[in-house]
Amino acid sequence: MYNLKKTVASILLISIILLSGCIQDTDTEIIDNSDNTSSGIDQDNFTLDSMVKIENLPSGYEYLGAPPITDYNEFSEKIIELKEGAYRDEDNFDVLLDIIELDSDSAATEFIFNYKSQYEQLSTGDRFTNVNFNGHTGTRIKTYTYRAGNQLPKYQVIWNNDNIVFIVRSNSNLESSAMNLATATGY
């Protein structure tokens, strides 16, 4: 019953944010995740270490370890703890899972807003696309990089579950690289 209340509260919070215009209205992609339906975090029995996905990874993914995490202090002063997991995807590209615990649900929402604010709008196409998975709405962020003289897209996914923010960043130019790991987190 407690998880149901938290889920309903999360849905209400997301609805309020969407209605307030804090999240850009773009196309929404639904990710079918019927095998992974966990949507709540047991606040009494969790650690960020336990949230780093080590087993049951997407096919072809390998866990590499937990390197020192990127400093995210510029996006919030309310960060409690940070953790990062490093992976290699099926195409041998690095994928990082950053887990950021903040002091409240509203601080997590503010963190995501601030994080997304660092990016300018693309000259063509959408930088931000809403995606739904694991019972949550997240944002897929598209950036570009040059490799071997070609401009290629890179993708990341950001979302929160209560006061925990998750960021999956991939060096692959395939959308599925970041989304596969985001979906596999179960959060």
Structural domain of 156: 2-184
Residue 148: pLDDT band (50, 70, 90) is: confident
Radius of gyration for the alpha carbons in the chain, expressed in angstroms and rounded: 16
Structure-model confidence comparison of residues 2 and 85, the more confident one: 85
Please say whether the beta carbons of 102 and 112 come within 8 A: no
Please say whether the beta carbons of 50 and 38 come within 8 A: no
Q: Which two tokens stand for residue 52?
A: 């780093």
Question: Average pLDDT of 69-96?
Answer: 94
Please say whether the beta carbons of 27 and 126 come within 8 A: yes
CA–CA dist 118, 156 (Å, integer): 14
Number of domains in the chain: 1
What is the full DSSP assignment across the chain?
-HHHHHHHHHHHHHHHHHHHT-S----EEEPP-TT-------TTS--HHHHS--SSPPTT-EEEE-PPPPP-GGG-S-EEEEEEEEEE-TTS-EEEEEEEEESSHHHHHHHHHHHHHTSPPPSSS-SEEEEEETTEEEEEEEEEEEETTEEEEEEEEEEEETTEEEEEEESSS-HHHHHHHHHHT--
**Distance set, CA 80 to CA 30, 71, 75, 84 (Å):** 31, 12, 13, 14
Residue 88 has pLDDT above 80, yes or no: yes
Question: Average pLDDT of 67-73?
Answer: 87
Structure-model confidence comparison of residues 89 and 20, the more confident one: 89
Please say whether the beta carbons of 132 and 179 come within 8 A: no
Segment 12-67, tens digit of pLDDT: 444 444 333 333 333 434 343 334 334 455 555 567 877 888 888 999 999 999 99
Q: Which residue has the tokens 């270490």?
A: 49
pLDDT of residue 48: 80
CATH code for the domain in which residue 64 is found:
3.40.1000
Q: Global pTM?
A: 0.75
- Ranking 37-41, 66-70, 82-86, 180-184 by mean pLDDT, the lowest is 37-41
